Amino acid sequence: MAQRRTPGPGDRVVVHYRGAIRDGETFYNSWGHGPLVFEIGTGHVKPFFEKAVREMTPGSKRVIEVSPEEGYGPYRPELVASLPRDKFPPGEPLEVGRVIRLETTSGWFQAEIVAVDETSVTIDPNHPLTGKHLVYEIDLLEVEWAEPTRGDDESPPASSAS
């Protein structure tokens, strides 16, 4: 029996997945939004996710656990900063929990407002999944092979006898 093929660089994959914090809180579920489609080797998904998909065969399902170091890194409290309130446009809603975009000399970044008082706004630019142990349920629905080879799901080449 032929060994089932796993995806590699250049292959386009279609997956459904559910991502959760290890305590059970789901942060994303593609079954409610449509599958994720990406090309292996392009860097469009986190390395841990691509590695897991590369070890799967079409139609298979798996669960992976991801440490903070493999996922979004450790939480970095030194990134939390207090900014003068007058640095924000007048009338901009400055509410705890709101995610805002800020521009620096090196580009744009997002940060969550974590505290507001009369004179300052405290922001936290750490990714919401930073420092968290994560669990992903992955279902590899299909693979569009970049370089087809004869496998257990392909028909033999047509005869060219004359």
Per-residue pLDDT reduced to its tens digit, 22-38: 988 999 999 989 999 99
pLDDT number for residue 2? 52
Prediction pTM value: 0.78
134: how many CB neighbours lie within 10 A of its CB? Answer: 21
For residue 15, is pLDDT > 60?
Answer: yes
> Does the pLDDT of residue 159 top 60, yes or no?
no
pLDDT tens digit string along 99-148? 999 888 889 999 999 999 999 999 999 999 999 999 999 999 999 999 87
When pLDDT is cut at 50, 70 and 90, the band that residue 149 belongs to is low
| Closest to 71 (Cα-Cα) out of 138, 131, 137 | 131
Of the candidates 103, 105, 104, 125, the one whose C-alpha atom is nearest the C-alpha of residue 113 is 125
Domains of the chain: 12-72+129-144 (3.10.50.40), 77-124 (2.40.10.330)
The predicted model gives 8-19 an average pLDDT of 97
Determine the 3-state secondary structure of 20 from DSSP. strand
* pLDDT (0 to 100) of residue 43: 95
Please answer whether residues 104 and 123 qualify as being in contact, where contact means their C-beta atoms are separated by less than 8 angstroms.
no
The pLDDT tens digits for 81-105 are: 999 999 998 888 999 999 999 888 8
